[in-house]
Structure 1
Amino acid sequence: MISCSQGSSGSDASVDEKKRRRMISNRESARRSRMKKQKQLQDLTTEIGTLERQKNEIVQACSAKTQNHLVLRSENEALLAEKMALTNRLNNINSVVWKFNESGWSLRDRSEVQEPWQVHSPSQQIMTSCTDMFRI
């Protein structure tokens, strides 16, 4: 009977050894799994930081472009207003010229009328620009 008890002890030892090896293997697997999850978490944290920096750069670029757009829009509105004023002025000048031509009256026909840039004598000339002469 002694041999039976030794046989069962031997098989118990091999079962215990298998359990011990499986337990060690499970611990190693769990450790690898935890390390993998920790690495994934670190990678995601790094990616979050990168994406936040990129987002901030995009927001700053968008703000700069929006500000530039507002400046250009304001300049465009000012130029359009100036264009309208100059167009009205040109139309007024053209109207005066048209009325002058329609009247058949010519400065060259009238000896008493001086040139517009002369005051009382040819020696006293007024220096004016074309825009000042035609300002209405």
Structure 2
Amino acid sequence: MNPKEGIEERKKRRRISNRNSARKSRMKKQQQMDTLQIEITKMESEKVVLKEQIDLVAGNYFEMESENKVLKAQYDELTERLQSLNSFLKMIGFVNGYEIEIPEMPQTLVEPWQLPCSNGVANTGMFKC
């Protein structure tokens, strides 16, 4: 074999090797693309589920907020009525010559979220005393 044939043979082997490397590289890239596409599909599904959950929570929030406003208005109205009735009772007592002692509203009725904690109740960790 002459040197020129040896050089041609090496070039030919190198071309074959380069083609194989390029093919492997394309296959690897395609696998990565397939994996990423699967991940995209999975994330899009999760996005739909999360959006549904957000919509549900938002709906519940607005419903609770509306109910809370109604309850607050009812509370204000009842408090005003109670104060009016207490004033009326005091006036009747004054007119009749005796004093009527009307106890103050318990703080737990005014601010029920500040109920005293009981040691006998299981603590879920949600409410700290």
| TM-score (normalizing by structure 1) | 0.68
What residue in structure 2 maps to residue 104 of structure 1?
Answer: 96
Alpha-carbon distance in 2 for matches of 1:56, 1:15: 61
Indicate the structure whose relative CO is greater, using CA pairs within 8 Å and at least 6 residues apart.
Answer: 1
4+ residue runs of structure 1 moved beyond 2 angstroms? none
In structure 2, list runs of 5 or more residues that go unmatched: 99-129
- Larger CA Rg, structure 1 vs 2: 1
What residue in structure 2 maps to residue 45 of structure 1?
Answer: 37
| TM-score (normalizing by structure 2) | 0.71
Which 10-residue stretch deviates more, 85-94 or 67-76? 85-94
Deviation at 1:105, TM superposition (A): 5.6
Q: In the alignment, residue 74 of structure 2 is paired with which amino acid? A: E
Alpha-carbon distance in 2 for matches of 1:12, 1:35: 35
Deviation at 1:101, TM superposition (A): 0.5
Aligned-pair identity in percent equals: 36
Deviations 1:21-76 (A, max 9, x none): 10110000110111011011101111111111111111111111100000100110
Alpha-carbon distance in 1 for matches of 2:7, 2:85: 113
Q: In the alignment, residue 87 of structure 1 is paired with which amino acid? A: T
Alpha-carbon distance in 2 for matches of 1:41, 1:48: 10
What residue in structure 2 maps to residue 92 of structure 1?
Answer: 84
In structure 1, list runs of 5 or more residues that go unmatched: 1-8, 107-136
Match of 2:19 among 19, 27, 32: 27
Deviation at 1:13, TM superposition (A): 2.1
